[in-house]
Amino acid sequence: MEYIFEDVVIKPSNAPKFVLNGEEVDIWSEEYSNYHSKSIVEYVRDAILEYEKRKEDPFPEIVGKEVEKEMVKNALMSGSNIPFRGRKGYGKTTFSKSIAKLLPEKLLAVKGCKIGCDPTHPSCFSCKKKLLEDDVVELTWIPRKWIRIAGDPMMTTRQLIGGISIQKIREGYDLDHPEVFTPGKILKAHRGIAYFDELGAIPSALQTLLHELLEEKQITTPEGDIIPMKIDTIVIASTNPANYKGVADIKEPLLDRMEEIPIGPPETLEEEIEIGLRNMSLKKGAILPEWHLRTLARIVRLARCKDCRISSVIELEPSCRATIKLFDHLRASATRKGHRCAMLIDYGKNYEIVKLALRSRMEIEYEDEISKDDVIVKLTEEALNRTCGEIYEKIPRNEFKGLMIDLAEFCFEPVDVEKAKDFEDFEYLYRTLLLIARRKEELRSAFEILLESIKRCTGLIEKVGFGRYVYAGYEA
């Protein structure tokens, strides 16, 4: 039983015969040598250096965040664990998954091992025994690991670390018996990435055990036995800002062994849009034209902007998930109505799709004075004002008069934008629409946003009903 407390290393000179898929293999040959013996830090470090050599981004899933990416690469190269600190919905989980992709897609492990031990450097009792005493040891492939561990103030030692008992071994239990060794969530992350979602929520006593496991490479059992347990993992954690509702602190001894990296909202409107498009659930359906993407992303960004008068009452700001769902809801609304391209009328008569996406993703401070729906409407109006200002600026000044003559004729009677057609018959109108739209399918939506822009910026167009506009520039 002495080897339970020893650091076991298997070399060609003391190795058993290894069998993979029924065939004997030489794991030190070129074919297999990259799938064992290296630590997780070494695999990640090698991958980062390879990306640097090719001048490629190792984290293509992450939009923007160039400074944060540099910090992550430096932290990983130096073998550090990382807590990401930032509000919910800003990509902390996505970043952790992107880090996991730096690992090989598969690794060699002892077959039947509960934690996927390396055949050259086992951690668990059973694998140490097999590799030291058996003549033949079966191996298997295990996929790259990303183990999510949800922060839970009610988490137990057995759930996090597992059950380990030297006493049961002394009583004659087999090393594979669940009473001897049942791995918890952190041990299951051996040879992979352990992602703690809200690390601070884990009880203080368990944070101490986690520190002992990661820093001192040992576990103190309930019976008081101290067992070496070299778990090979990189810990990536997430935590919200210190003043965030319901946030618990990560304890200082544990935090002192980690490199904290702040993760904030997208820096630009373009990054916000890109994140929204990449993460949509509804991948097919009506086209989302640029002006609606900018409007919807602006609504969310305005809600975060503390310099904006409307957002001053917002206590909990919406994250990128709000942008994603706004895009999803607009496409869903337009597709249900048979629109090839999304339109302003697809927002709903009272911006219902915007309310649907934001109600559960923001909180306001003075709801007895102003309702959440009222705030959402004001944000939407302000976003539309800004987008319509951009559209209006696209109209060539030397063609404005000709455009107004065309619109006076086209909109002499109230026009239903949902049925509008034959734009090609109006030279200046058609030319202006082509400056706005990127493809033919967007023309009707471009016509609608053009009318809305002229209405908001000049008053020469009047809205006379849901989706209905009329020319209003006649002299009295």
Q: What is the pLDDT of residues 378-400, one digit of tens each?
A: 999 999 999 999 999 999 999 99
Write the CB contacts of 24 (distance below 8 Å, at least 6 apart in sequence).
17, 18
Number of residues in the chain: 476
How far, in Å, are 10, 123, 264, 351, 375 from residue 303 at the CA level? Answer: 58, 50, 15, 16, 9
Query: Which has more confidence, 280 or 207?
Result: 280
| Amino acid (one-letter) located at 474 | Y
| Residue-level pLDDT at 62 | 94
Angle between the 40-54 and 66-77 helix axes, to the nearest 10 degrees?
A: 130
Query: Which has more confidence, 274 or 228?
Result: 274
| Residue-level pLDDT at 476 | 42
Report the alpha-carbon distance of residue 212 to residue 209 in Å, rounded. Answer: 5
pLDDT range class, residue 213, cuts 50, 70, 90: confident
Q: Given the DSSP bridges, would you call strands 17-20 and 23-25 parallel, antiparallel or unpaired? A: antiparallel
Q: What's the rounded mean pLDDT across residues 428-445? A: 95
Angle between the 372-393 and 290-304 helix axes, to the nearest 10 degrees?
A: 130
Question: Comparing C-alpha atoms, which of 413, 474, 415, 401 is closest to residue 447?
Answer: 415
Strands (E), 240-313: 261-262
| Amino acid (one-letter) located at 419 | K
Query: Dihedrals φ, ψ of 340, to 5°?
Result: -75, -25
Query: What does pLDDT average to over the chain?
Result: 90
| Residue-level pLDDT at 215 | 78
| Residue-level pLDDT at 292 | 98
DSSP code string of 139-155: EEEEE--EEEEE--TT-
Which tokens sit at 360?
Answer: 């559960």
| Residue-level pLDDT at 383 | 96
Report the alpha-carbon distance of residue 95 to residue 72 in Å, rounded. Answer: 9
Q: Given the DSSP bridges, would you call strands 82-85 and 233-239 parallel, antiparallel or unpaired? A: parallel
Q: What's the rounded mean pLDDT across residues 205-220? A: 79
| Residue-level pLDDT at 87 | 86
pLDDT range class, residue 467, cuts 50, 70, 90: very high
Q: Please report the sign of the dihedral spanned by the C-alpha atoms of residue 7, residue 11, residue 16, residue 21.
A: positive
